[in-house]
């Protein structure tokens, strides 16, 4: 019997696990759970006889892939698959997939939760500011960017986007102003919401030079990845620009520097929380389970990312 392992250091909501189990059981497969594990060795031993693996941000390294003797497919229940060693998967002919769009609304809602919190001075009782009438730049107009744009319009913000991979016509059709360069986006918008993936081209690309273009009261909103930020660069900028704030769903490695130097001008969730809603867990978990069943039953490779 095929074993489907759900390995999540940050567990799914119980309702999501119940639905994943139902799909796996009905397909005649067996579900195994490894939650809140604390070492790669635990993952390596759990995956040894698994035919399929569902993960979140869990690191599927070359070592993990090597330990997986039966693995045919790994699905990242979520969008960004920078946690999967693609070369190692491809070398062993393991299909790697993600579940694009399934947790996007949750991430977008968190972006606004953080923005309101920052604009209202962390609810410390002093007069804050409003989002209405402010300019927001969506840096990469994918699934999350699209939801952020929709919510921003609800707040009465002016919405701009830059994405070299999306046609301007599509962005315009959504009532958003496309801009032609990343520099233009940052120099136009007081708020920038980041939705770029972490890869060799984007790592540390959000640097001091780019951020220094942002207008007075600039706020960088990061629900993407910490790897895309030049963390020393943002500290250097915040030392120069007392008006600048950084709010992020992913704590930077130099968090202690922010705590010491910039009280009130940053906010970091204690643990990556963007996709941590029951709805997003159900959407992404169910999609992952269905993709695995379709792969084994019909050879369906839609959503494969290591083509
Ligand atoms: C994603 O890429 O889908 C998000 O960053 C969510 O990641 P998580 O499942 O680890 O919360």
**Helix%, strand%, coil% for the chain, nearest 5:** 40, 20, 40
Q: Is the domain of 92 the same as that of 12? A: yes
Tokens 């299909």 sit at which residue? Answer: 95
Q: Tell me the two tokens of residue 221.
A: 């909103």
Rg (CA), the chain: 20
Beta-strand ranges (E) seen in the chain are: 3-8, 30-35, 52-55, 73-76, 95-98, 135-139, 158-162, 177-178, 191-194, 219-222, 245-248, 266-268
pLDDT in tens, 42-77: 999 999 999 999 999 999 999 999 999 999 999 999
Task: With beta carbons less than 8 A apart as the criterion, state whether 192 and 237 touch.
Answer: no
Whether residue 225 has its Cβ less than 6 Å from ligand 1: no
Q: Is the domain of 191 the same as that of 220? A: yes
CA of 273 to the centre of ligand 1 (A): 8
165 burial (CB, 10 Å; 0-12 / 13-18 / 19+) is exposed
Confidence of residue 95 (pLDDT cuts 50, 70, 90): very high
Q: Is the domain of 250 the same as that of 286? A: no
Whether residue 285 has its Cβ less than 6 Å from ligand 1: no
Q: Is the domain of 93 the same as that of 225? A: no
Whether residue 57 has its Cβ less than 6 Å from ligand 1: yes
Q: What is the CATH number of the domain that holds 194?
A: 3.40.50.720
Q: Is the domain of 215 the same as that of 262? A: yes
Q: Is the domain of 172 the same as that of 70? A: no
Please report whether residue 304 resides in a domain. no
CA of 74 to the centre of ligand 1 (A): 15
Domain that holds residue 165: 104-268
* Structural domain total, the chain: 2
Pocket test for ligand 1, best of 11, 97, 103, 145 (most atoms within 8 A of CB): 103
Tokens 């809140």 sit at which residue? Answer: 36
Please report whether residue 305 resides in a domain. no
Q: Is the domain of 111 the same as that of 130? A: yes
Whether residue 195 has its Cβ less than 6 Å from ligand 1: no
Task: With beta carbons less than 8 A apart as the criterion, state whether 257 and 72 touch.
Answer: no
Task: With beta carbons less than 8 A apart as the criterion, state whether 265 and 57 touch.
Answer: no
Whether residue 142 has its Cβ less than 6 Å from ligand 1: no
* Residue (of 166, 169, 161, 154) closest to 192 by Cα position: 161
CA of 95 to the centre of ligand 1 (A): 19
Q: Is the domain of 122 the same as that of 81? A: no
CA of 216 to the centre of ligand 1 (A): 31
Query: Can you spell out the DSSP letters for 180-237?
Result: S-HHHHHHH-SEEEE----STTTTT-B-HHHHTTSPTT-EEEE-S-GGGB-HHHHHHH
pLDDT in tens, 5-39: 999 999 999 999 999 999 999 999 999 999 999 99
Q: Average the pLDDT over 174-188 and give the result.
A: 98
Q: Tell me the two tokens of residue 182.
A: 């990343």
CA of 249 to the centre of ligand 1 (A): 10
Cα 233 to Cα 257: distance, rounded to the nearest angstrom? 12
Please report whether residue 205 resides in a domain. yes
Q: Is the domain of 85 the same as that of 188? A: no
Please report whether residue 236 resides in a domain. yes
Please report whether residue 307 resides in a domain. no
DSSP state of 92: T
Q: Is the domain of 264 the same as that of 116? A: yes
**Over 90: is that where the pLDDT of 307 sits?**
no
Q: Is the domain of 144 the same as that of 253? A: yes
Cα 76 to Cα 82: distance, rounded to the nearest angstrom? 10
Cα 15 to Cα 12: distance, rounded to the nearest angstrom? 8
pLDDT in tens, 77-90: 999 999 999 999 99
Q: Is the domain of 126 the same as that of 222? A: yes
Please report whether residue 84 resides in a domain. yes
* Nearest protein CA to atom 3 of ligand 1, as residue: 78
pLDDT in tens, 130-165: 999 999 999 999 999 999 999 999 999 999 999 999
Cα 291 to Cα 159: distance, rounded to the nearest angstrom? 34
Straight-line distance from the first to the last Cα atom of the chain, in angstroms, rounded to the nearest whole number: 27
Instruction: Supply the ipTM of this predicted assembly.
Output: 0.98
Quickly count: other Cβ atoms within 10 Å of residue 48's Cβ. Answer: 14
**Over 90: is that where the pLDDT of 246 sits?**
yes
CA of 127 to the centre of ligand 1 (A): 34
pLDDT at 27: 98
Cα 7 to Cα 20: distance, rounded to the nearest angstrom? 13
Please report whether residue 303 resides in a domain. no
- Positive or negative, the CA dihedral 171, 173, 174, 178 is positive
Please report whether residue 152 resides in a domain. yes
């Amino acid at each position: 019997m095929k074993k489907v392992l759900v390995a999540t250091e940050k567990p799914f909501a119980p309702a999501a696990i119940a639905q994943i189990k139902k799909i796996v059981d009905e397909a005649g497969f067996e579900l195994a759970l490894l939650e809140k594990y604390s070492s790669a060795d635990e993952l390596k031993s759990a995956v040894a006889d698994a035919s399929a693996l569902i993960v979140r941000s869990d690191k599927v390294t070359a070592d993990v892939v090597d330990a997986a003797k039966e693995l045919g497919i790994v699905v990242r229940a979520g969008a960004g698959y920078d946690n999967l060693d693609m070369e190692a998967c491809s070398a062993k002919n393991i299909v790697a997939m993600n579940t694009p769009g399934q947790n996007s609304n949750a991430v977008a809602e968190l972006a606004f939760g953080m923005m309101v919190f920052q604009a209202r001075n962390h609810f410390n009782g002093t007069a804050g500011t409003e989002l209405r009438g402010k300019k927001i730049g969506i840096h990469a107009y994918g699934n999350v960017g699209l939801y952020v744009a929709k919510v921003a319009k609800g707040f009465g913000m002016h919405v701009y986007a830059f994405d070299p991979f999306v046609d301007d016509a599509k962005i315009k059709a959504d009532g958003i102003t496309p801009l032609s360069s990343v520099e233009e986006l940052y120099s136009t918008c007081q708020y920038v919401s980041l939705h770029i993936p972490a890869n060799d081209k984007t790592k540390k690309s959000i640097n001091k030079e780019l951020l220094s273009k942002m207008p007075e009261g600039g706020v960088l909103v990061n629900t993407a990845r910490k790897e895309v930020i030049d963390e020393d660069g943002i500290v250097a900028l915040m030392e120069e620009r007392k008006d600048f704030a950084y709010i992020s769903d992913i704590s930077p490695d130099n968090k202690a520097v922010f705590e010491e130097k910039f009280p009130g001008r940053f906010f970091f969730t204690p643990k990556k929380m963007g996709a941590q809603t029951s709805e997003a867990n159900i959407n992404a978990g169910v999609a992952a389970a269905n993709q695995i069943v379709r792969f084994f039953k019909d050879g369906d490779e839609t959503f494969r990312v290591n083509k």
